[in-house]
Amino acid sequence: MARDSARVEAFSDAVIAVALTVMAVELLQFSPGTPKDKGLGAALGHEWRSYLAYVITFAIVGQIWLTHHNMWRYVVRVDQMLLVLNLALMLFVAAIPFTARQLADHLRGTDADQQISAALYVGTVLGEALFFNLSWWWARRRKLLHPDLDPRLAKAVARRYRLGPLLYLIAFAVVFIDPILSLFAYLLLVGLYLIRGPGDLPSSAGSA
């Protein structure tokens, strides 16, 4: 027997909220090497990489929450496999604070450290993007979506989700040119997803 999606959404919201909280604790603090004898301004300036990673990663996790919210309002029933796919998605979401911390710590490290930390970061965001695709594919295949959902809209949503992994890989390639530029590439991608697309909530109650 299948059941509705209320508990899945509540669980997912909790995981995302905890990930954002842990990320703030991980990134919004002074590292042991922060110079404390030159005043607060110098100390804050020393940590700019952490603050940049925080803003960009908060935007990424926020986009994940928006996408999850928009997707699951179409899901009326869940089965065992959809639960597993959503758990796998949450596995990557929960790992984001750790990878963001590594990225912030190694932005000015050796080339190898920059590439490894960037690989961890992109692996995490790529993993969640892939499991978004798999979850939507499975829900469509097993007819777990609302029966009144227009099949053309379902296909449009699937096409939009498929762009995510490709765009994240492009942003990852930029790290070999400039790690800081790669971070801004991620932020640009998030901005693109914030533009209302197929399956998103309308801008107002009167919009289509």
CA distance 34 to 50: 12
Q: Where are the domains of the chain?
A: 6-194
What per-residue confidence (pLDDT) applies to 89? Answer: 96
- The CATH number of the structural domain formed by 6-194 is 1.20.1410
Give the list of residues 6+ apart from residue 74 with CB closer than 8 angstroms, or none. Answer: 139, 145, 146, 149, 154, 199
pTM for this structure?
0.84
CA angle 31, 36, 41 (to 5 degrees): 95
Q: Provide the 3-class DSSP secondary structure of residue 138.
A: helix
* β-bridge partners, 145: 75
What per-residue confidence (pLDDT) applies to 195? Answer: 74
What per-residue confidence (pLDDT) applies to 32? Answer: 64
Segments of the chain with pLDDT less than 70? 1-3, 30, 32-37, 108, 201-208
What per-residue confidence (pLDDT) applies to 27? Answer: 80
What per-residue confidence (pLDDT) applies to 139? Answer: 95
Q: Provide the 3-class DSSP secondary structure of residue 158.
A: helix
CA distance 122 to 62: 16
Amino acid, single-letter form, for residue 156: A
To which residue do tokens 């990489």 refer? 49
To which residue do tokens 């209320």 refer? 6
CA distances from 31 to 6, 64, 102 (A): 40, 28, 12
What per-residue confidence (pLDDT) applies to 206? Answer: 46
94 burial level (CB within 10 Å; 0-12, 13-18, 19+):
middle
What per-residue confidence (pLDDT) applies to 2? Answer: 56
